[in-house]
């Protein structure tokens, strides 16, 4: 039974690294897209593909593994786990909301000139939004590693 738990923990950590790593690279890709109007739509399409094919599935597996380990091994009142789950839920909602805005951003980048004010506003908001997602994921990583006594 212990080997199964260790395998689950390994999968949890591996998928968390994949998800967080792709999110952090998204942030740099988004900054590049903001500065490169000629290739902006292609860069944004690539970010969306990486998100759909790597980050989202990895976060889903991370969440499933984490909840399974929590219910299997940890007390249900563990503050660091409860806090992590709350942040994870907020990040999930943010990620779901991000998708339609990302498509809008890609379409604006294809259809509009590089000096379009709506495009600039959306670029700023989404890049800031994505930075918030990265910070939230790093906060969960901190909680997973340090397991602080929060209350």
Q: Which residue has the tokens 């212990």?
A: 2
Q: What is the pLDDT of residue 1?
A: 74
Q: Are 118 and 111 in contact (CB under 8 A)?
A: no
Query: Mean pLDDT over all residues of the chain?
Result: 91
Of 32, 148, 2, 5, the closest CA to residue 84 belongs to 148
Which has the closest alpha carbon to 61: 5, 8, 4, 135? Answer: 8
The pLDDT value recorded for residue 130 is 85
pTM: 0.88
Residues 6 or more apart in contact with residue 56 via CB below 8 angstroms: 95
Instruction: Please state, in angstroms and rounded to a whole number, the distance separating the CA atoms of residues 136 and 128.
Output: 12
Residues 6+ apart with CB under 8 A from 24: 134
pLDDT surpasses 80 at 47: yes
d(CA 50, CA 44): 10
The whole-angstrom separation of Cα 111 and Cα 40 is 11
Q: 2-35: per-residue pLDDT in tens?
A: 899 999 999 999 999 999 999 899 878 988 988 8
Please tell me the total number of residues recorded for the chain in this structure. Answer: 151
- CB-count burial class (<10 Å; 0-12, 13-18, 19+) for 130: buried
Confidence band, pLDDT 50/70/90 cuts, at residue 87 = very high
Q: Where are the domains of the chain?
A: 2-146
């Amino acid at each position: 039974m212990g080997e199964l738990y260790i395998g689950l923990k390994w999968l949890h950590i591996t998928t968390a690294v994949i998800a967080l790593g792709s999110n952090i690279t998204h942030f740099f890709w988004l900054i590049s897209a903001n500065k490169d109007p000629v290739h902006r739509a292609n860069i944004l399409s690539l970010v969306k593909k990486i998100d759909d094919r790597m980050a989202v599935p990895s976060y889903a597996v991370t969440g499933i593994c984490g909840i399974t380990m929590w219910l299997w091994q940890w007390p249900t009142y563990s503050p660091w786990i409860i806090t992590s789950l709350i942040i994870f839920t907020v990040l999930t909602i943010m990620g779901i909301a991000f998708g339609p805005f990302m498509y809008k951003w890609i379409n604006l980048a294809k259809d509009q000139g590089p000096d379009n004010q709506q495009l600039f506003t959306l670029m700023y908001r989404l890049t800031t939004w994505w930075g918030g997602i990265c910070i939230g994921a790093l906060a969960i990583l901190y909680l997973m590693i340090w397991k602080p006594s929060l209350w």
